[in-house]
Amino acid sequence: MTLLVKSSYSHRFLSSSTPAMSVCSSFCPQLPSYFRQKPINSLPTKPLFPLSFKVFSSQATGVSAKDELPGRIGFLGMGIMGTPMAQNLLKAGCDVTVWNRTKSKCDPLISLGAKYQPSPDEVAASCDVTFAMLADPESAMDVACGKHGAASGMGPGKGYVDVSTVDGDTSKLINGHIKATGASFLEAPVSGSKKPAEDGQLIFLAAGDKSLYNTVAPLLDIMGKSRFYLGDVGNGAAMKLVVNMIMGSMMATFSEGLLHSEKVGLDPNVLVEVVSQGAISAPMYSLKGPSMIESLYPTAFPLKHQQKDLRLALGLAESVSQSTPIAAAANELYKVAKSHGLSDEDFSAVIEALKAKK
């Protein structure tokens, strides 16, 4: 497994002497100024910090300045995540072509300079690498392999990177269709929500064609703060599902705790503060707790997607006879929340499923 990390509080890579920076700026000429201001050979030769991280380097990625750089980048799916991800590529000066089922969601990107094509196959045909950020296994399959799907526009020398959260079987099916055209495939689901997507701080969980991983590494580093290469197709999907299974259960039990504290006469705001200072502290609790107490659920991660991920994680667990009673109970709670019409609210709205109905 390979892990690469960039500084979490700025987009400056930890070592400014890396040849990969010159590679990156060569195909994204408008990269932020800190990549471009100084000639590479005048930049400091030592890492800025003692490194417990591996820095982004051409040696690690295998990218050289001349080969395989994706000049034209396609992006399919302009939802909560796809929009800021594509925006960050555009802001970095990349040549981006977008498509979305609901065309109007492409308009903000087009006004930022993105090109538009009316179907996934036309995006894929006009681009070197095409990213897809779609709702679920069905839409990921349809956009990749259906009528006018991206696979129809793929061919040798091209790459398809699916960053949607799907199950491994779906990812393997898409891999098969894409590979049959002679193109390369990478699954790269992300950890991190709307704000990390806006800030270029996502965590990529990549698996599949290693040379495509190397080729798109500079693009992943524009959109994210770290990336893991996990081997064969299916491993990225599995890692993502396990992480979101944990997250869904955490949010469900946190919801119980908030309501429990109120019922016994405690101030739930104080509970959030206590939790934040102890061993069970998690950024998610401090971030979502205050709005949950106000019964506000501004959508960053739609509840319907969290329930989809729990469903897929439970299927994965069943396929290897792994017992997951906590996640199964959490999944039931999200299903109840969906039945209350909360699908498009943030997943923290799961707390509503625990509130007694009068």
Q: Which residues are catalytic?
A: 240
Q: Is 300 in the site for ligand NDP (CB under 6 A)?
A: yes
CA distance 99 to 83: 11
Residue 93 identity: G
Q: Is 18 in the site for ligand O=CCCC(=O)O (CB under 6 A)?
A: no
> How do strand 2-5 and strand 224-229 relate by DSSP bridges?
antiparallel
In the list 15, 100, 164, 165, the residue contacting ligand O=CCCC(=O)O (rule: CB under 6 A) is 165
Q: How far is the CB of 28 from ligand NDP (least distance, A)?
A: 23
Q: Is 249 in the site for ligand O=CCCC(=O)O (CB under 6 A)?
A: no
Instruction: Kindly give, in sequence order, each residue whose CB lies less than 8 Å from that of residue 75, ignoring residues fewer than 6 positions away.
Output: 82, 85, 86, 89, 96, 97, 98, 99, 109, 114, 123, 130, 131, 132, 133
Altogether, the residues listed in the chain come to a count of: 358
Q: Is 301 in the site for ligand O=CCCC(=O)O (CB under 6 A)?
A: yes
CB of 177 or CB of 225, closer to ligand O=CCCC(=O)O: 225
If one counts every other C-beta atom within 10 angstroms of the C-beta of residue 269, the result is 13
Q: Is 135 in the site for ligand NDP (CB under 6 A)?
A: yes
Single out the residue of 186, 190, 173, 78 nearest to residue 123, CA to CA: 78
Tokens of 141: 């399959």
CB of 117 or CB of 201, closer to ligand O=CCCC(=O)O: 201
Q: Is 164 in the site for ligand O=CCCC(=O)O (CB under 6 A)?
A: no
Alpha-helix residue ranges (DSSP H) falling in the chain: 19-27, 33-36, 58-61, 82-91, 107-111, 120-126, 137-145, 168-180, 194-198, 210-223, 235-263, 268-277, 283-293, 303-319, 325-339
Site for ligand NDP in 81-120 (CB under 6 A): 81-82, 100-102, 105
State the virtual CA torsion across 226, 163, 65, 201 in degrees, nearest 10: -30
Long-range contacts of 323-328 (CB under 8 A, 24+ apart): 324/245, 326/249, 327/245, 327/248, 327/249
CB of 149 or CB of 196, closer to ligand O=CCCC(=O)O: 196
Q: Which does 100 bind (CB under 5 to 8 A by kind): ligand NDP, ligand O=CCCC(=O)O, none?
A: ligand NDP
Instruction: Kindly give, in sequence order, each residue whose CB lies less than 8 Å from that of residue 325, ignoring residues fewer than 6 positions away.
Output: none
Q: Is 61 in the site for ligand O=CCCC(=O)O (CB under 6 A)?
A: no
In the list 191, 215, 255, 261, the residue contacting ligand O=CCCC(=O)O (rule: CB under 6 A) is 191
CB of 25 or CB of 191, closer to ligand O=CCCC(=O)O: 191
Q: How far is the CB of 244 from ligand NDP (least distance, A)?
A: 8
Q: Which does 77 bind (CB under 5 to 8 A by kind): ligand O=CCCC(=O)O, ligand NDP, none?
A: ligand NDP
Q: Is 134 in the site for ligand NDP (CB under 6 A)?
A: yes
Tokens of 307: 């329930």
Q: How far is the CB of 136 from ligand NDP (least distance, A)?
A: 6
Q: How far is the CB of 163 from ligand O=CCCC(=O)O (least distance, A)?
A: 11
CB of 87 or CB of 193, closer to ligand O=CCCC(=O)O: 193
Residue-wise burial string across 291-300, b where 16 or more C-beta atoms lie within 10 A, e elsewhere: ebbeeebebb
Give 291-335 as a DSSP string. HHHTT----SSBHHHHHHHHHHHHHHHHHTT---HHHHHHHHHHH
CA distance 147 to 142: 7
CB of 135 or CB of 349, closer to ligand NDP: 135
CA distance 79 to 136: 12
Q: Is 305 in the site for ligand NDP (CB under 6 A)?
A: yes
Q: Is 348 in the site for ligand NDP (CB under 6 A)?
A: no
Q: Give me the residues that bind ligand O=CCCC(=O)O (CB under 6 A), please.
A: 165, 191-193, 244, 301
Binding site for ligand NDP (CB under 6 A): 77-82, 100-102, 105, 133-136, 139, 142-143, 164-165, 190, 193-194, 300-302, 305
